Chains A and B, each alone.
Chain A
Amino acid sequence: MKHMLLIALLLLAIPAQASDLVVQDTNHAYCDDGSTSIVKYVDINEENGGDHTVIPAVSGKALKVLNFFLHPSGSILVRWESGASGTALTGRQRVNTSTYYFDDCVPYGCFQTAVGDLLNLETSSKDGLATIRGHLTYVECGSSATTPSGGGGGFEQGGKGV
């Protein structure tokens, strides 16, 4: 009887192995302080040149961009900034008319604003008035992240051209 119970236990255990499942939590991404933050999405729908707030500032939070998609109606220069007319997070990038510019930096991220800064998209049209459409995926990260000028225990903006 006991042997039968043991065999039954084994028979039950083996099929259970097939249902063993490890799932990556794609609803959250890590921040530099080790905490996780829920993934958020925002649309990009801007016209004319100048500063455009793509993500408003969140008190005590840095904004880490995981990917973005841009589709301009005309040839355009774009630069991501931490704050309006703020610290450059990229160079000024030329993007051609109707180019599908998908920048996928998952899982590590493309760049990150300073704590408390909005995410700004600076545009300047080369072909007169141009619209730029698209979307962006990001997370809000806690206050332990540092500013893009580097240093400290949070994220680090390295390189030379900062």
Chain B
Amino acid sequence: MKGMFRGFLLVLAFTLFPVSSWAISLVHQDTTHAYCDGPASSRIRYAIIDHNTSGDNTVIAAVAGKSLKVLSYSMTATGSVTARWESGAGGTALSGQMTMATGVPIVCNGAPYGCFQTGVGALLNLELSGAVSVDGHITYVECG
């Protein structure tokens, strides 16, 4: 009985406090992939924001069966304009109509969780209130 008790204590000690956990460990985060809503991860992609059309502007083309999760973006405008991110052209709003002042950046670093996400199969649209040049870049993943 005593032997069993000793054995139990030993197993308990090394299960709860394994020797390997006593060391300081250094981890590397895989920054070439980001998680989607499920357990799958997807490769990081980059795109340019370079648009000047009043109304709808396709920033990322639709991908069949995929939603587009935006991890970060930054953009500036050459004039005063409002900008709204949408899922699909003239589609569901992903942001409010944000007022952009000339030469003042709008930056979203939503990593690692993301800024917003389109519907499945929908393009990422940037709706502009006027024909003003809006430029920048975007980091995203295709999910689904």
Contact = CB atoms under 8 A, between A and B. Distances in A.
A binds B: yes
Nearest to B34: A108
Interface residues of B, number: 56
Given A21-B24, A24-B27, A103 B105 contact: yes
Chain A contact surface mostly: mixed
A90 B135 contact: yes
A156 B139 contact: no
A23 B26 contact: yes
A46 interface: no
Contacts of B32: 30-32, 34, 108, 155
A32 B45 CA distance: 11
B16 interface: yes
Contacts, number: 181
A131 to B, nearest CB: 16
Contact of B25 (A13, A22, A111, A159): A22
Contacts of A30: 28-32
B13 A6 contact: yes
Contacts of A90: 48-50, 135-137
Nearest to A139: B31
Chain B contact surface mostly: strand
Contacts of A79: 135
A92 interface: yes
B98 interface: no
Interface string A36-59: 100000000000000000000000
B136 A93 contact: yes
Q: How large is the interface on A (under 10, 10 to 19, 20 to 34, 35 or more residues)?
A: 35 or more
Interface in A1-19: 2-3, 6, 9-10, 13-14, 16-17, 19
Contact of B50 (A92, A112, A156, A157): A92
Contacts of A110: 46, 72, 74, 137, 139
B137 A107 contact: no
Interface in A57-96: 75, 77, 79-80, 88-96
Give the residue among A17, A19, A160 with the most B Cβ atoms within 10 A.
A160
Contact of B46 (A99, A107, A109): A109
Contacts of B105: 93, 95, 99, 101, 103
Interface of A: 2-3, 6, 9-10, 13-14, 16-17, 19-25, 28-32, 34, 36, 75, 77, 79-80, 88-97, 99, 101-112, 148, 155-162
Given A3-B6, A90-B50, A91-B135, 16 more contacts: A20-B21, A20-B22, A22-B24, A23-B24, A25-B28, A89-B137, A94-B133, A94-B135, A99-B105, A107-B29, A108-B34, A108-B72, A109-B31, A155-B46, A159-B60, A160-B59
